Amino acid sequence: MRIGVLCSGGDSPGMNAAIRGAVLRGVEVHGFEMVGFMDGWRGFHEDDRVPLDRAAVRGISPLGGVILGTSRVQPFLSGRGDEADIQAIRDRVEEYGVDAFLLIGGNGTQTVAQLLTEHGIPAIGLPKTIDNDLSGTDYTFGFDTAVSIASEAIDRLRTTGDSHRRCMVLEVMGRDVGWIALHAGMAGGAQVTLVPEFPESIEQISEWVLSVRDRGRSSLVVVAEGFRLAGNEAQTTRDGLDGFGRKRLGGVAEVLAPLIEQRTGIETRATVLGHVQRGGSPTAFDRVLATRTGIAAADAAEAGQWGTMAGLRGDRIAMVPLAEAVGHLKTVPEARYEEARLNFG
Ligand code: F6P
């Protein structure tokens, strides 16, 4: 069987380990021939392929990024995912002699894996995103690395913030969900953690910051990029385009910091962590999770379990039907937010 491997969406530490796990099991144990498409669907559309064998994956687990590259290029040329788009993919698949796909990606990629399988193009999903927002899996690889980097940033911001008696606001990634903010905030003892799932008002945030000051301490506020102020959405976004004409993501810390300063009179600084939290070497946890995900995906291909995703369920990697995983993001539940709230103010 010839299997095509493709990564799509933003990169996530651990992708190399996942590829290595899938190749070692797929090629060495199951006798598959494996090929990687470069830069996601771009490589597929433009026939940019590399062989994936033991030599190609040697020593890659500790490496950040992904050897195949990744992109947000869409699989469907018209963007609609209609019958003509599927047929175009089918034609390419036949031309390349590819029997099935292992697709490494987030919610969008898993949706594509499901659609392809439904149309007779067998696919298995490997979930990845630093945001940890994919349903059907307890954790995605890349998340632990991002949280570690964000917690270290909190620790460092705290010492400079304390020295100047300032309020420090750290923005972390999390476009739709607040998992990175929640975990990093808890690990770093943030006095306020703001997540998209639970809007808070500027009055409430300022009250927390002031009560920390009243106890003689400085506040560390961690905010997910997707957070919006309760009842005042417009004020929270740094509307507009970046220098390249693209819609800006994030920037919420830069909006919040002056609002906090105005209301509390406490000097406040904003830091946007940005892509630092997606770069560099994966943690040991992410390497192990990713390797096991790759192994399970190769085994599932051997067993013909198409239309499934290798999700972490407790301590086990389970092949979850893609239908269970796609279409709804895994958000921070209220009970988890309540735990973080214990440290607020
Ligand atoms: O989906 C992962 C993610 O890291 C989000 O948290 C973030 O909003 C986005 O990707 C950034 O995308 P890009 O790398 O394309 O700027």
Q: Which pLDDT tens digit goes with each residue over 43-70?
A: 999 999 999 999 999 999 999 999 999 9
Looking at residue 247, its pLDDT comes to 59
In ligand 1, the atom with minimum distance to the C-alpha of 275 is 14
Q: Are 273 and 149 in contact (CB under 8 A)?
A: yes
The amino acid at 268: T
Q: Are 300 and 294 in contact (CB under 8 A)?
A: no
Mean pLDDT for the stretch of residues 86-110: 96
Query: Is residue 109 lining ligand 1, measured as CB closer than 6 Å?
Result: no
DSSP category for residue 71 = B
Q: Is 183 annotated as a binding residue?
A: no
Looking at residue 29, its pLDDT comes to 98
In ligand 1, the atom with minimum distance to the C-alpha of 278 is 4
Residue 74 has pLDDT above 80, yes or no: yes
Cα gap 144→131, rounded to integer Å: 10
Residue 248 has pLDDT above 90, yes or no: no
Q: What is the pLDDT of residues 250-284, one digit of tens each?
A: 689 999 999 999 999 999 999 999 999 999 999 99
Cα gap 322→303, rounded to integer Å: 16
Cα gap 116→193, rounded to integer Å: 39
Mean pLDDT for the stretch of residues 176-192: 98
Q: What is the pLDDT of residues 110-119, one digit of tens each?
A: 999 999 999 9
Mean pLDDT for the stretch of residues 285-293: 98
- Lookup result for tokens 């560390």: 220
- Please state the separation of Cα 36 from the chain's center in Å: 21
Q: Mean pLDDT, the chain, as a whole number?
A: 95
Mean pLDDT for the stretch of residues 208-230: 96
Cα gap 98→85, rounded to integer Å: 17
Q: What confidence tier does 79 reach under pLDDT thresholds 50, 70, 90?
A: confident
Element (H, E) at 144: helix 143-164
Cα gap 154→150, rounded to integer Å: 6
Q: What is the pLDDT of residues 124-174, one digit of tens each?
A: 999 999 999 999 999 999 999 999 999 999 999 999 999 999 999 999 999
Residue 27 has pLDDT above 80, yes or no: yes
Our answer to whether residue 131 is catalytic in this structure is yes
- In terms of residues, how long is the chain? 345
Query: Is residue 130 lining ligand 1, measured as CB closer than 6 Å?
Result: yes
The amino acid at 181: A
Helix orientation angle between 143-164 and 284-303, rounded to the nearest 10 degrees: 160
Query: Is residue 86 lining ligand 1, measured as CB closer than 6 Å?
Result: no
Looking at residue 333, its pLDDT comes to 98
Query: Is residue 278 lining ligand 1, measured as CB closer than 6 Å?
Result: yes
Looking at residue 13, its pLDDT comes to 98
Looking at residue 249, its pLDDT comes to 60
**End-to-end Cα separation, the chain, in angstroms:** 58
Cα gap 272→299, rounded to integer Å: 41
Mean pLDDT for the stretch of residues 213-219: 96
Task: Report the residue among 7, 248, 278 best suited for mutation to probe ligand 1: largest number of ligand atoms under 8 A from its CB.
Answer: 278
Query: Is residue 140 lining ligand 1, measured as CB closer than 6 Å?
Result: no
What CA–CA distances, in Å, run from 154 to 25, 151, 181, 215, 219? 39, 5, 11, 20, 11
- Lookup result for tokens 């659609």: 115
- Lookup result for tokens 């954790």: 139
Looking at residue 77, its pLDDT comes to 86
Cα gap 172→152, rounded to integer Å: 12
Task: Report the residue among 71, 173, 176 best suited for mutation to probe ligand 1: largest number of ligand atoms under 8 A from its CB.
Answer: 173
Of 11, 39, 85, 131, the catalytic one is 131
